[in-house]
């Protein structure tokens, strides 16, 4: 009897990484595409590093000045900061914050209904808005994102390790990998691939002991043009900075729906989040 060849799938968009970024991106992509498939090397819907975090969230509230927050981040990154990109993330962060609240996520408020927050040391404006019970927000965010993915019909698979994006010239045709438990090969035909395998905090620091960010080497091997490469493994801390805990969340995924709509306008459709 012949051994089965392996697992084979076909999709419009393959999202590698079922963390917060991957699930956000998949949900937004579903607004434009018939079929979106998310795969993750861990258990399905575990939420990636975000699911293991405290789930606190840094948000530009409507009454906050964007330049004040960017000044904090330029200091925090000791000058190595893509201000345009960070500005886009912060500007859209309030909408994502309200999405979570509308879905039932419980950010802590005082008796007056005002949001409670933890100031970040040595930064004048950065604040963590936190969840009740404290430390459990990451689990709840993962649960809510999973529920919203299901509502939109996003397909999700766990235990799938992607090793390479497959290209035909400059055109992406899919990806290959293997099942983490059986070891059987996995073949995925896709019109576009989005790599959402970044670490779950502002900087790598505590996440150096995890196998996150492999999307960088996958994209590099596929011949993608790279930018902001200095941010992947740089740990540059300003003199007066002390860290409260690596439980922050930035809504990195789906920064701009138009980016996803443009997937098929490009010759090489591999995106990094």
Is 92 in the same domain as 222?
no
239 domain residue, yes or no: no
212 domain residue, yes or no: yes
Residue 127 · residue 103 · CB < 8 Å: no
As a whole number of angstroms, the distance between CA 211 and CA 80 comes to: 24
In the chain, beta strands by DSSP E: 7-16, 36-39, 117-119, 127-129, 155-157, 160-168, 171-179, 185-195, 270-272
Check residue 51 and give its pLDDT: 87
Q: For residue 133, is the peptide bond before it cis, meaning its omega torsion is within 30 degrees of 0?
A: yes
Residue 48 · residue 17 · CB < 8 Å: yes
Alpha carbon 93 to chain centroid, angstroms? 13
Is 269 in the same domain as 163?
yes
Nearest residue to 250 via CA among 101, 114, 36, 91: 91
Is 10 in the same domain as 30?
yes
Check residue 59 and give its pLDDT: 93
H or E, element range at 102: helix 83-103
**Is the C-alpha dihedral spanning 102, 106, 111, 113 positive or negative?**
negative
Check residue 107 and give its pLDDT: 94
Nearest residue to 191 via CA among 6, 27, 8, 33: 33
271 domain residue, yes or no: yes
Query: What is the average pLDDT value for the chain, to the nearest integer?
Result: 81
The pLDDT of 112-125, averaged and rounded, is: 88
Is 153 in the same domain as 28?
yes
Check residue 244 and give its pLDDT: 41
pTM of the model: 0.81
121 domain residue, yes or no: yes
Is 172 in the same domain as 266?
yes
The CATH number of whichever domain residue 264 belongs to comes to 3.50.50.60
Is 157 in the same domain as 270?
yes
Is 200 in the same domain as 266?
yes
72 domain residue, yes or no: yes
Counted domains in the chain? 2
As a whole number of angstroms, the distance between CA 44 and CA 60 comes to: 31
More confident residue, 211 or 139: 139
Structure tokens at 61: 């509230």
Taking only the tens place, the pLDDT of each residue in 38-59 is 999 998 888 988 888 888 898 9
Is 44 in the same domain as 76?
no
More confident residue, 96 or 246: 96
**How wide is the angle at C-alpha 76 spanned by C-alphas 71 and 77, nearest 5°?**
100
The pLDDT of 145-170, averaged and rounded, is: 95
Check residue 249 and give its pLDDT: 36
Check residue 272 and give its pLDDT: 44
Is 43 in the same domain as 65?
no
237 domain residue, yes or no: no
Residue span of the structural domain in which 108 resides: 56-134
DSSP state of 3: P
Taking only the tens place, the pLDDT of each residue in 162-199 is 999 999 988 899 999 999 999 999 999 999 999 988 76
Q: Is a pLDDT exceeding 60 seen at residue 268?
A: no
Residue 264 · residue 270 · CB < 8 Å: no
Taking only the tens place, the pLDDT of each residue in 197-221 is 876 544 444 444 455 557 878 888 8
Check residue 199 and give its pLDDT: 63
Is 204 in the same domain as 161?
yes
As a whole number of angstroms, the distance between CA 193 and CA 269 comes to: 6
Is 158 in the same domain as 268?
yes
- Which of 73-77, 80-84, 154-158, 168-172 shows the highest mean pLDDT? 154-158
Is 172 in the same domain as 222?
yes
Q: What are phi and psi of 155, to 5 degrees?
A: -80, 145
Burial of 131 (0-12, 13-18, 19+ CB in 10 A): buried
As a whole number of angstroms, the distance between CA 145 and CA 191 comes to: 24
240 domain residue, yes or no: no
Region of poorest pLDDT, from 9-23, 57-71, 75-89: 75-89
């Amino acid at each position: 009897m012949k051994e089965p060849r392996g697992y084979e799938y076909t999709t419009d968009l393959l999202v590698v990484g079922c963390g917060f970024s991957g699930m956000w991106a998949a949900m937004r992509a579903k607004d434009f595409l018939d079929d979106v498939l998310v795969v993750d090397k861990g258990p399905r819907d575990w939420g990636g590093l975000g699911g293991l975090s405290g789930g606190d969230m840094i948000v530009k509230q409507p009454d906050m000045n964007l330049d004040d927050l960017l000044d904090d981040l330029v200091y925090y990154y000791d000058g190595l900061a893509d201000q345009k990109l960070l500005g886009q993330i912060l500007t859209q962060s309030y909408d994502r914050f309200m999405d979570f609240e509308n879905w039932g996520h419980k950010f802590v408020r005082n008796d007056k209904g005002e949001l409670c927050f933890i100031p970040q040391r040595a930064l004048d404006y950065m604040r963590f808005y936190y969840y009740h019970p404290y430390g459990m927000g990451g689990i709840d965010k993962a649960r809510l994102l999973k529920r919203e993915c299901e509502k939109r019909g996003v397909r999700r698979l766990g235990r799938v390790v992607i090793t390479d994006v497959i290209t035909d010239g400059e055109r992406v045709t899919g990806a290959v990998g293997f099942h983490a438990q059986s070891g059987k090969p996995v073949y995925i035909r896709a019109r576009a691939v989005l790599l959402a395998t970044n670490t779950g905090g502002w900087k790598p620091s505590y996440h150096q002991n995890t196998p996150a960010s492999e999307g960088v080497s996958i994209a590099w091997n596929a011949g993608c043009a790279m930018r902001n490469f200095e941010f992947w493994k740089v740990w540059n801390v300003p003199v007066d900075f002390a860290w409260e805990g690596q439980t922050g969340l930035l809504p990195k995924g789906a920064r701009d729906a138009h980016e996803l709509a443009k997937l098929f306008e490009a010759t090489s459709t591999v995106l990094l989040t």
